[in-house]
Structures are given as C-alpha cells and as structure tokens.
C-alpha cells in the first residue's frame, strides 16, 4: 500500500543568491533531509590542489592554498553569470578514468602576479601601495568556469570591490601558481559547500483567543504587543483587538517572552492563553542563501536530484537483497 | 584584561597566566625574528567583547584568539565536562588554524688547533652504492651548495638541514686533518620557512659562535586535543578527539556547558557580545565600569537584544541537526572569545615499548625528546608495596628496566666476574644472580670509596 | 593527527563493502536489521519516518553507532509474516522516490511561476 505524500512548494522570493520558499504537506524528516543535503552533499567546484612555481609573498604556501580553496568557483554553462549545477559537466576525480587529471574531472587556474611588472601600469599615486592579488587574477582553462565574485553584472559594475583578496604583494614579490579545481561535496571539506545558510523554520500558527482578550484592558493588550521582541502582534486601530502583524509568520521566533507576559496577566494559571504561537508540523519556511558558487534555486534543484539519485541507488541495492 | 572579571578572583589570576600561552601575535616583527619556537594564529580576531585594559595595550591590533559562537547545552554526549563540540565546517574554514615555526640550528666553531667547522654541498652521488637513487643520497636533497637547506624545501624524516663537517681530531695541530660529517636532521614532514646563513662576524669575538640552520614550518590543523580557553576566567577547554560534528548536524558553531566554576563574567560576556553582534559594534565589559560609562551592562545588553527582536535572556529556539525537530529547551547562545593555547597533544603524546637507555645506569632514558620511558616513581612504588604486588614491582623496577646478571661469590659476598672469585681464588661457590644494573653500579661505586658491601645469598 | 580518518571515508564505499547488508533477527519474528554503509542521519531519519507511516510496520528505528563510524543500522519489524522487512523498506524507498519526483516537478513549476509573476528582467 503506497504511503506517498504530495508535498507542495510555494516560492516566496528568488534572487540569484537567495531563495525562500514554503514546503508543506510533508514532515520534518523530509524537510531536514533536504536541508542536510543542501549543506553537505550538493556537488560544487573548489580548488583542491595548488602547484607553486614561485611564492615570495608574505604568506606561505599552505596559507594561500587554504585561501584559494575557500574561493567559490562558479560553473556557468551558458556563458551568463548564472551559477549552474556542475554534476553533469564534471566527474568526481576519484571516479575519473584518467591517470592524474583531465578536463573531465578538473579545471586548471593559472595565477601569475609580479608586483614589479604590474606596478608599471598602476596609477602614479598608487605605486607605493601594496598590490592585492584577488580571485580575478585566476585564469581558468575552461571558459565556463570562473571564480564567483559577483552575483550579476549589475553588482559587478557597481561594486568597488575587486574580487576576493588572496594576498597582498610588495615590491619585488612574485606569486605564480597553478590551482586545480575539482568537484566535491562538503562532507569532505566545507569549501565545497554551496550554501552560506540553509535553514528552515516551522511555520508558526498564531491563534488569538478574542474571547479571552475581551477581558483585557487596552494597556494589557499593549503590554502583550510590547512583550514580543519579534513584533508579531499589533493592535487593530479601529476595533482595538489584537491581531498578528503582516508577515508575522516570517518574523516569529517562538520566543518565550509572550508566554511569561500573558502568564502574569492571567487570573488563574489554568486560564486559556490569550495568544498562542505553536509550531505547525507540516509546513516549513525555508531560507537558502548561496555562497556564490551556485544560484540558490539550482542548489534546491540539485539537492532534490541528489536525493533522487540516492534513493534510486538504495532501491536497486534493496532489490539485490531480495534475491 | 579579563572581560567581565567579577566573582571568583582566582579565575582572573588563572586567566592572567593562561593568556600568555595563547597563540596569537607575539610581536609586530615576529616574522623577522628567529625565535626557537613561534606559534602564530592564521586568522586572529578582535575580541567581540573588550575591556579598557585591552584598549590600552592595543589588543585589537595584536589579537590572540577567535570569536566563537557557542550554544550552551548538552548534545550527543561527547561534550562532557570542559569539552566543546566544534563544527567541522568552521575548522575547514580556518577556526583555530595556526602555524608553528621551529628553529633547527647548529654552531659553526673555530677550534684551538686552527680548524673550523665548515658547511658544504651534498656529497657526490657516486660515493653511494646506488648513486643518485641511493636513499642515503636522497637525504641531502634539501641541501644547497652552501651546505644549508633551501627555502621552501620539504623535509621528511631524516632529511639533512645543514651539512656540516668538523675536523676529526681537534687536538692535533697540523695541515691535513680529515673532516667528519656532522649533520642536523629533522623529523617529520615539514617545510623550510627561512634559512639562516653563517656570518663571518663572531668567530673571534666573545660570545656564542655563529650558527647555521633553518626555521621549519609546521601547520597543524585544529584537531583532537587542542586546548582552547575562554578568557573570563573560563577553564581550559579540551576539545574532544576527532569528534568535530559536521556542519549539518550542529545547531551552531560550538556547544559547551558551563561547569560551576565558571564566573558570571562568562555569562555576561556572552550576553553583551551577542548584543554587540546585533548592534554591529564591539562591546565593553571592563570589570568596574568607567567614569564615562561606556561599559555595557546586562541591562543595556538586554535592551539591545529586545531592540533586535530577540529574547532578552539571550536564549533562542534551536533545531536538532540530526532529525530536524526543535529542541525542547531554549538555548543560551552567543559569541565568546576563545584563545587557543599552545599545548597540543601531538607535541606531547608519547609512549614507548623499547628504546634507548642511559649509558651509565642502563636504565631507560628520560623524557619525550629522548624517546624515554615513563617513570614508575617512588609514590607509585609505594602504592605497589602497600598493595603487596611484589612481582609487579620486580617487573617494573628490574626486568623491564635494567636487569643484569652478575656473579656473586657466596663465601666472600663480593661481585665477581664469570664464575671465578678472584678474592677467594676459587670458582666453587660463585652463584649467578639477577639484580638491577644500577644496584651493581652502586656497589662498585661504594667499593671505590672504601666501603665494602657484601651480599649474603639465600636460596629462594 | 596521524590516525585521522580520511574525510572521503564518509561517502566512498570501500572495496570490500556492500551498500546494504541485511541481518534477520534471530529472536523476533518478521524483524531484521539493515546496515547501510556510508549513510548517516540524512537517509536514516528519512527512511525511519517513512517506514513508521506504513501500517504494516510494527517497529522502525535507526542508530548511528558513533560519529566516526560511517554507517547506520536500521531495524525494521513488520506486523505480519506476509510482509518481509525488505519489502517494507523497498516500498518506503519507492514512496520517497515518488515524493522526490513530485517535489522536483513542483519546484520547477513553482520557480517558473514565480519568475513569470515577478519578471524583473534579472533572470
């Protein structure tokens, strides 16, 4: 007998770096599995190997390698700035048939910054200042892959920022290296994590017991409104009744302040609550923020694909057990 | 120095001692100095909560720790007592990452017979039986023509850092004295950070002779057994084995609990720090406040928290990372400044089953650096005596230490050699016994001082 | 440290490992323990909750023995001998797989719908 559910998705907002949506008609296990996969198992590209040819900067090799590893690397299949899912384009390096590395499983970046050479082309007044080597100096051997500096062209044009700084060079210093990016998941290292934040909250159910509230004075109602630091309540200007503010569901933090405030107002401890804020059990407000390596909506889609692949794999393995 | 220094003054004293062991910025010129051992933190933070003293000493510019967001709760059972559970992703991103620079050096002397130590290039590969592929030749791979290691070279166990040669005989005055090789080697895979050249100055001036050597760099990851310490009189916090939890299982960065010896200061630091985070500024927690009243009080922090839509006690709803359900309790959380202390298990752990012995006593050597044994001291021995574990005492104090077979003449009671009593001129009554070598040594030293110990043997 | 386990041990199946092993319970009827190698709470909790929704499953629980051990033990007991634990697990995976399929289509639709309604020209 199938026990399948048909969850619903309602999108609140999409931006390249952020997606908020409501997942409903499923349970916590599904919501949490999605969250866990988005954090730990969505594959992305990140610099994994660095070959140094010359490093006379103030930072040592390991330090720079660590910094390079944490730069989000974006795979944009169609020449736009959109960060796409890279799992079809690359194979995990451990599964690749090549001997060491090949374009199928890795992307090479070259970085060659020589202070003395670059300094000639800098404005006169800046020549005494140290030169910052940034992620923009990384040149990939694959046009579809680039370090993620900006989410869109507009931001890139407006920002004063010059990419992600790697190290500052002074006179006579030279940094030349080859960085090799590979596909991986953040179970191995957090640099492969596509999300900065991936969280969900239970949808709050705010019930106001108007009958009980009628026994309250305006001052007491105002006190209840003030008690909530997350500002989920307000007074109706016309009727003077308590009502949830607009978008209260997205603001609610389930704080205990409200409970204490109304307990103090009750005549008897067993009286009904004036306002109740409870966790809904099958409605989740997700908020996913990308690190820049992938667009937020693609992270969501990719996580679903990872889950689907995993379940298919497990199903096949269970079939094998039956024999 | 200690933020929120309040009750329990001892803890302030402890922190004053411990703050000096924290890894951070030693001095502005730390990379130009040639310290014997230098610990530096890779990504130090300004503390989220500071004090007036920290301002006066410019601590923000030479920080020695990192702000960690902690949640105070029991989670998973691996966080007993002082342990904290770290988020694995935060370690990956550089939490607690440090760099250790160690000096390896040797002296280059001039001797009375006019000879002088010299450093020279690697020997010709033809000296070795397998030529270039010889393992003994491979040890010299880091050495440059001047006999010193190159900067940036990877040193493996046994790699030569300085190829030094000294005259074989330092007493003889003559023209041709053969030189012997004396090298300094390095254990473990490290990387040469800097080399130190020999200067000509100093050979004839008093003081220590000039030295040659290199500084090697080790980059240990934050791992099991690193000592962390939070400043407001917090105790040393020992991190657990490899039990850093993956990001997707951690409610926040770190989990800890406050044993009763923690001061109110830590609670205040956390609350004031959390308010500071949301207000976007560093918070103040000087001990007695200041005249101009910039110190953040608990009240002002609470108001700031409420202003930012949080509960004034600093507690929030947290969700379990394992099954996604909200946790039953409200969890107290916020930033705390953690110092990483320079004690690392990797530098301290030691065990041996067999190994070198001291020449004089034939007992195992002492200390980790000499691969020494672990001493069963007098107090431990007393315990064994009290318990009556005589065989264990025999094993620990003799068989596993410096057991020695000696001949004893039963008529004169003196230690003899090889079944022949030179004193009695007879081999008849010489018996073989086992005793600690140190004991035999004692008897002989006493004899040398005209005290004659005689052994009276009995059948056991 | 020297004996640190490889990070990739958490998700790469070893050469001598099976993905799923099944051990029927010797004392309890219609029960058995599945060992899922290289899996963690992500799959464990999902399968457990899905199994619990099956009326023919009497018991379903999983255990992650230790944070350094990369496997989970999933114990399943069914209420009748008509249904083997393997069958229930298979059905649970099937249901979840369909649920995921449904999610994929609804997410794709929802994203398209949102973009149509909020045409910012950004995309």
> B186 with B104: CB under 8 angstroms?
yes
The answer, yes or no, to whether residue B237 has pLDDT greater than 70, is: no
Average pLDDT, chain A: 87
Identify the chains in contact with C, defined as 3+ C-beta pairs within 8 A. Answer: A, B
CA distance C111 to A297: 8
The answer, yes or no, to whether residue B182 has pLDDT greater than 90, is: no
All CATH 3.90.1800.10 domain ranges in chain B, comma separated? 368-449
Q: Does A318 touch chain C (CB under 8 A)?
A: yes
DSSP A97: -
Q: Does A183 touch chain C (CB under 8 A)?
A: no
Residues making up chain A, counted from first to last: 323
- Give me the catalytic one of B35, B60, B79, B82: B82
Domain range for residue C76? 9-116
Instruction: Quote the pLDDT of residue B296.
Output: 81
- The sign of the torsion formed by the CA atoms of A155, A158, A163, A165 equals negative
Q: Does C105 touch chain A (CB under 8 A)?
A: no
Comparing C-alpha atoms, which of B271, B232, B252, B274 is closest to residue B75? B252
For B46-93, list the strands marked E by DSSP.
49-50, 66-72, 85-86
- The sign of the torsion formed by the CA atoms of B35, B39, B43, B47 equals negative
Instruction: List the single best residue of C4, C41, C47, C72 to mutate versus B (max B Cβ within 10 A).
Output: C41
Q: What's the gap in Å between the CA of C95 and the closest CA on chain A? A: 5
ipTM above 0.90? yes
Helix (H) or strand (E) holding A174: strand A174-184
Identify the chains in contact with A, defined as 3+ C-beta pairs within 8 A. Answer: B, C
**Considering only residues 62 to 101 of chain C, which have any Cβ-Cβ distance to chain A shorter than 8 Å?**
86-87, 89-101
- Let me know if B82 is a catalytic residue: yes
- The sign of the torsion formed by the CA atoms of B73, B77, B79, B81 equals positive
CA distance A248 to B158: 67
Chain pair A-B, CB pairs under 8 angstroms: 85
CA distance A115 to A173: 6
Q: Tell me whether residue C77 is in a domain.
A: yes
Instruction: Quote the pLDDT of residue C44.
Output: 93
> A145 with A75: CB under 8 angstroms?
yes
In the block, residue with structure tokens 């992650």: C64
Overall average pLDDT of the A272-290 stretch: 88
Confidence band, pLDDT 50/70/90 cuts, at residue B252 = very low
Interchain contact, C7 vs A297, CB within 8 Å: no
pLDDT tens track for A228-260: 888 888 888 888 788 888 888 888 888 888 888
Give the start-to-end residue ranges of the domains of chain A: 44-191
The 3-state DSSP class for residue B162 equals strand
The answer, yes or no, to whether residue B142 has pLDDT greater than 90, is: no
> B153 with B191: CB under 8 angstroms?
yes
Overall average pLDDT of the B283-297 stretch: 72
CA–centroid distance for A129 within its chain: 35
Residues 6+ apart with CB under 8 A from B401: B363, B364, B373, B436
CA distance B100 to B98: 7
Instruction: Quote the pLDDT of residue B8.
Output: 63
The 3-state DSSP class for residue A190 equals helix
The answer, yes or no, to whether residue B68 has pLDDT greater than 50, is: yes
> C47 with C85: CB under 8 angstroms?
no
Instruction: Quote the pLDDT of residue B192.
Output: 61
Judged on CB neighbours under 10 Å (0-12, 13-18, 19+), B386 is exposed
Instruction: Quote the pLDDT of residue B238.
Output: 31
- The sign of the torsion formed by the CA atoms of B203, B207, B208, B212 equals negative
Q: Does C110 touch chain A (CB under 8 A)?
A: yes
All CATH 2.40.50.150 domain ranges in chain B, comma separated? 101-218
What is the number of alpha carbons within 13 Å of residue B154 lying toward its C-beta? 7
Distances (CA, A) of B246 to A252, B89, B92, B223, C7: 28, 7, 10, 14, 11
Our count of domains for chain C comes to 1
- Partner residue facing A39 (CB), from B90, B247, B317: B247
> B250 with B95: CB under 8 angstroms?
no
More confident: C68 or A194 = A194
> A77 with A198: CB under 8 angstroms?
no
The answer, yes or no, to whether residue B175 has pLDDT greater than 50, is: yes
Instruction: Quote the pLDDT of residue B262.
Output: 54
> Residue B456 CB: number of other CB atoms within 10 A?
7
Instruction: Quote the pLDDT of residue A161.
Output: 65
pLDDT tens track for B362-404: 999 988 888 888 999 999 999 999 999 999 999 999 999 999 9
SS3 content of chain C, % helix, strand, coil (to 5): 40, 20, 40
The answer, yes or no, to whether residue B301 has pLDDT greater than 60, is: yes
Domain B9-97+249-338, architecture per CATH: Beta Barrel (2.40)
Instruction: Quote the pLDDT of residue B228.
Output: 45
- The sign of the torsion formed by the CA atoms of A153, A156, A157, A158 equals positive
Q: Which residues of chain C have pLDDT under 70?
A: 1-2, 120-123
Average pLDDT, chain B: 75
> B205 with B158: CB under 8 angstroms?
no
Tokens of A3: 């026990």
C62-65 long-range CB contacts below 8 Å, 24 or more apart? C64/C40
Counting residues of chain A whose pLDDT is more than 70, the rounded percentage is 95
In the block, residue with structure tokens 């410096």: B402
Helix (H) or strand (E) holding B41: strand B37-41
Comparing C-alpha atoms, which of B212, B100, B24, B146 is closest to residue A60? B100
Top CATH class, B368-449: alpha beta
Confidence band, pLDDT 50/70/90 cuts, at residue A89 = confident
B174-182 long-range CB contacts below 8 Å, 24 or more apart? B174/B113, B177/B113, B177/B115, B179/B118, B182/B106, B182/B117
More confident: B314 or B386 = B386
> A202 with A73: CB under 8 angstroms?
no
The answer, yes or no, to whether residue B236 has pLDDT greater than 80, is: no
> B298 with B274: CB under 8 angstroms?
no
Interchain contact, A36 vs B248, CB within 8 Å: yes
Instruction: Quote the pLDDT of residue B67.
Output: 87
CATH fold, domain B101-218, is OB fold (Dihydrolipoamide Acetyltransferase, E2P) (2.40.50)
Q: Tell me whether residue C3 is in a domain.
A: no
Q: What's the gap in Å between the CA of B15 and the closest CA on chain A? A: 30
CA distance A179 to A199: 32
> C25 with C33: CB under 8 angstroms?
yes
Interchain contact, C49 vs A301, CB within 8 Å: no
Let me know if domain A44-191 sits in CATH 2.170.120.12: yes
**Considering only residues 5 to 64 of chain A, which have any Cβ-Cβ distance to chain C shorter than 8 Å?**
5-11, 14-16, 21, 26-30, 32-33, 36-37, 40-41
The 3-state DSSP class for residue B351 equals coil
Counting residues of chain A whose pLDDT is more than 90, the rounded percentage is 38
> A296 with A17: CB under 8 angstroms?
yes
Confidence band, pLDDT 50/70/90 cuts, at residue B318 = confident
Give the range among A88-97, A98-107, B59-68, C2-11 with minimum mean pLDDT. C2-11
> B333 with B350: CB under 8 angstroms?
no
In the block, residue with structure tokens 């930033």: B335
Overall average pLDDT of the A57-75 stretch: 89
The answer, yes or no, to whether residue B254 has pLDDT greater than 50, is: no
Instruction: Quote the pLDDT of residue B117.
Output: 76
């Amino acid at each position: 007998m199938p026990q399948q559910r048909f969850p619903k998705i309602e999108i609140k907002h999409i931006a390249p770096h952020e997606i908020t949506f409501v997942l409903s008609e499923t349970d916590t296990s599904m919501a949490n599995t999605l969250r866990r996969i988005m954090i730990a198992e969505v594959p992305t590209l990140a610099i994994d190997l660095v070959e140094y040819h010359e490093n006379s900067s103030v930072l040592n090799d390991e330090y720079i390698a660590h910094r390079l590893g944490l730069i989000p690397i974006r795979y944009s299949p169609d020449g736009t700035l959109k960060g796409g899912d890279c799992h079809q384009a690359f194979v995990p390096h451990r599964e690749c048939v090549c001997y060491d590395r090949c374009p199928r499983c890795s992307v090479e970046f070259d970085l060659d910054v020589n202070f003395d050479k670059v300094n000639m082309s800098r404005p006169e007044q800046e020549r005494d200042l140290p030169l910052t080597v940034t992620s923009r100096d990384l040149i990939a051997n694959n046009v579809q892959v680039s370090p993620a500096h900006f989410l869109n062209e507009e931001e890139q044009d407006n920002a004063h920022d010059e990419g992600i700084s790697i190290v500052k060079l002074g006179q006579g210093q030279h940094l030349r290296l080859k960085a090799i990016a590979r596909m991986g998941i953040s179970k191995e290292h957090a640099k492969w994590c596509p999300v900065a934040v991936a969280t969900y909250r239970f949808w709050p159910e705010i019930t106001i017991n108007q009958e009980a509230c009628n026994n309250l004075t305006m001052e007491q109602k105002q006190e209840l409104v003030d008690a909530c630091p997350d500002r989920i309540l307000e007074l109706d200007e016309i009727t003077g009744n308590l009502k949830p503010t607009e978008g209260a569901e997205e603001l609610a933090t389930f704080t205990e302040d409200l409970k204490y405030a109304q307990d103090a107002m009750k005549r008897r401890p067993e009286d009904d609550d004036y306002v109740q804020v409870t966790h809904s059990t099958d409605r989740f407000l997700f908020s996913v923020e990308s690190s820049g390596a992938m667009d937020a909506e693609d992270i969501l889609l990719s996580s679903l694909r990872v889950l689907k692949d995993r379940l298919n794999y497990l199903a096949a393995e269970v079939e094998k057990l039956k024999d | 120095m200690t933020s929120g220094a309040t009750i329990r003054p001892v803890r302030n004293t402890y922190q004053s001692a411990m703050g000096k062991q924290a890894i951070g910025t030693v001095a502005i010129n730390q990379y130009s100095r040639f310290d014997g051992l230098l610990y530096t933190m890779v990504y130090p933070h300004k503390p989220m909560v500071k004090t007036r003293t920290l301002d006066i000493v410019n601590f923000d510019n030479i920080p020695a720790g990192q702000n960690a967001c902690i949640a105070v709760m029991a989670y998973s059972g691996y966080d007993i007592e002082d342990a904290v559970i770290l988020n694995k992703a935060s370690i990956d991103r550089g939490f607690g990452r440090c760099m250790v620079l160690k000096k390896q050096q040797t002296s280059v002397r001039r001797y009375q017979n006019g000879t002088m130590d010299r450093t020279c290039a690697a020997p010709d590969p033809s000296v070795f039986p397998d030529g270039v592929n010889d393992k003994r030749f491979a040890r010299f791979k880091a050495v440059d023509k001047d006999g010193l290691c190159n900067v940036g070279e990877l040193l493996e166990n046994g790699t030569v850092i300085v190829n030094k040669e000294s005259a074989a005989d330092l007493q003889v005055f003559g023209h041709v004295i053969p030189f012997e090789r004396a090298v300094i080697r390095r254990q473990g895979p490290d990387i040469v950070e800097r080399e130190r050249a020999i200067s000509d100055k100093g050979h004839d001036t008093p003081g220590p002779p000039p030295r040659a050597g290199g500084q090697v760099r080790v980059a240990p990851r934050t791992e099991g057994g690193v000592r962390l310490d939070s400043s407001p009189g917090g105790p040393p916090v020992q991190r657990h084995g490899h039990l850093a939890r993956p990001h997707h299982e951690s409610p926040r960065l770190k989990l800890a609990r406050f044993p009763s010896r923690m001061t109110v200061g830590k609670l205040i630091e956390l609350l004031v720090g959390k308010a500071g985070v949301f207000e976007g500024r560093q918070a103040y927690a000087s001990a007695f406040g200041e005249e101009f009243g910039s110190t953040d009080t608990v009240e002002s922090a609470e108001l700031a928290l409420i202003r930012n839509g949080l509960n004034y006690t600093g507690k929030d709803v947290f969700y379990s990372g394992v099954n996604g359900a909200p946790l039953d309790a409200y969890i107290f959380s916020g930033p705390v400044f953690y110092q990483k202390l320079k004690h690392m298990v990797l530098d301290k752990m030691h065990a041996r089953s067999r190994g070198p012995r001291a020449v004089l006593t034939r007992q195992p050597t002492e200390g980790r650096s000499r691969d020494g044994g672990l001493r069963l001291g007098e107090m431990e021995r007393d315990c064994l005596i009290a318990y009556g574990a005589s065989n264990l005492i025999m094993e620990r104090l003799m068989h596993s230490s410096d057991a020695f077979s000696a001949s004893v003449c039963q008529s004169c009671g003196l230690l003899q050699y090889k079944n022949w009593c030179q004193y009695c001129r007879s081999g008849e009554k010489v018996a073989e016994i086992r005793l600690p070598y140190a004991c035999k040594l004692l008897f002989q030293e006493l004899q040398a001082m005209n005290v004659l110990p005689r052994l009276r043997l009995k059948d056991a | 440290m020297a004996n640190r386990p490889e990070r990739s041990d958490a998700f790469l199946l070893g050469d001598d490992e099976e993905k799923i092993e099944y051990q029927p319970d010797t004392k309890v009827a219609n029960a058995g323990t599945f060992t899922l190698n290289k899996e963690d709470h992500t799959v464990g909790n999902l399968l457990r909750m899905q199994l619990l929704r099956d009326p023919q499953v009497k018991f379903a629980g999983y255990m992650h023995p230790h944070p350094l051990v990369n496997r989970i033990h999933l114990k399943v007991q069914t209420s009748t001998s008509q249904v083997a634990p393997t069958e229930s697990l298979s059905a649970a995976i099937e249901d979840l797989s369909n649920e995921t399929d449904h999610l994929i289509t609804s997410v794709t639709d929802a994203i398209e719908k949102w973009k149509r309604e909020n045409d910012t020209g950004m995309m």
